Amino acid sequence: MLNQVPRDVWIGLAAMVLAGTYWYGADQIPISALDGVVNAAAMPKALAYALGGLAFVLILRALTIEIITRRATAEAAEPAPPAGTEITEEKEWEDAASRRKRHLRAAGMLGIGIVYLIAIPHLGYMLSIALLVFGVAAFMQARPDRKLLLLSGCVAVFFYLLFVRFLDIPLPPGFWPSLFT
């Protein structure tokens, strides 16, 4: 049974152990009374977290590929349809229409992202994020109502507080500050 586990899972598990060991070592670094919020152990711990996260992604990817491969193998092992049964033109047209629809949805999401990137310097971060959340939800066929407006506003305020106030990352204010000066 263990020989059926993909090699990348083993590598990911080994990387997880290495990340844990590295984090433990970083945790043993003495903290000076002169250290501020960021101390000598911060960077090694951040690297340990990054290694652990990448190891987790590697394991998840390997298991996903394994599941997809097994499903494809099982589908290939299914018996062929009886002789004389052919795929109709209608079925082929539905498949092509389905693919076209998926491509158009992806292009629509890309378009929303491009509009967001163009709008953010002019409208500012908060309004742009609120419009992005509202636009994506509406594009994904959510009903545009008061709840969605409230959700969009709350997400914008949350990300503003997180990035600008908590993490102290300056983001584009847009034209709004000039209106109040």
Residue range of the domain that includes 131? 98-181
Within a domain: residue 89?
no
* Whether pLDDT at 57 is above 90: yes
Q: How many CA atoms lie within 13 A of 94 on its CB side?
A: 5
SS (H, E, C) 58-111: HHHHHHHHHHHHHHHHHHHCCCCCCCCCCCCHHHHHHHHHHHHHHHHHHHHHHH
Q: Average pLDDT over the chain, rounded to whole?
A: 84
- Pair (120, 60) in one structural domain: no
- Read off the pLDDT band of 90 (50, 70, 90): low
Written as one letter, the residue type at 168 is: D
How many separate domains does the chain show?
Answer: 2
Residue 91: its pLDDT value, please?
64
Helix axes 89-123 and 125-139, enclosed angle (nearest 10): 170
- Of 2-16, 55-69, 75-89, 118-132, least confident by mean pLDDT is 75-89
pLDDT tens, position by position, 98-120: 888 888 988 999 999 999 999 99
Residue 11: its pLDDT value, please?
92
Q: Find, among 127, 8, 141, the residue nearest to 65 by Cα.
A: 8
Within a domain: residue 90?
no
Longest Cα–Cα distance in the chain = 83
- Pair (102, 169) in one structural domain: yes
- Pair (132, 172) in one structural domain: yes
- Pair (131, 69) in one structural domain: no
pLDDT tens, position by position, 113-166: 999 999 999 998 899 999 999 999 999 888 889 999 999 999 999 998 888 888
Neighbours of 150 (CB within 10 A): 10
Residue 177: its pLDDT value, please?
74
Residue 87: its pLDDT value, please?
56
The first and second tokens of residue 67, run together, are 């599941």
Please state the pTM of the whole predicted model. Answer: 0.49
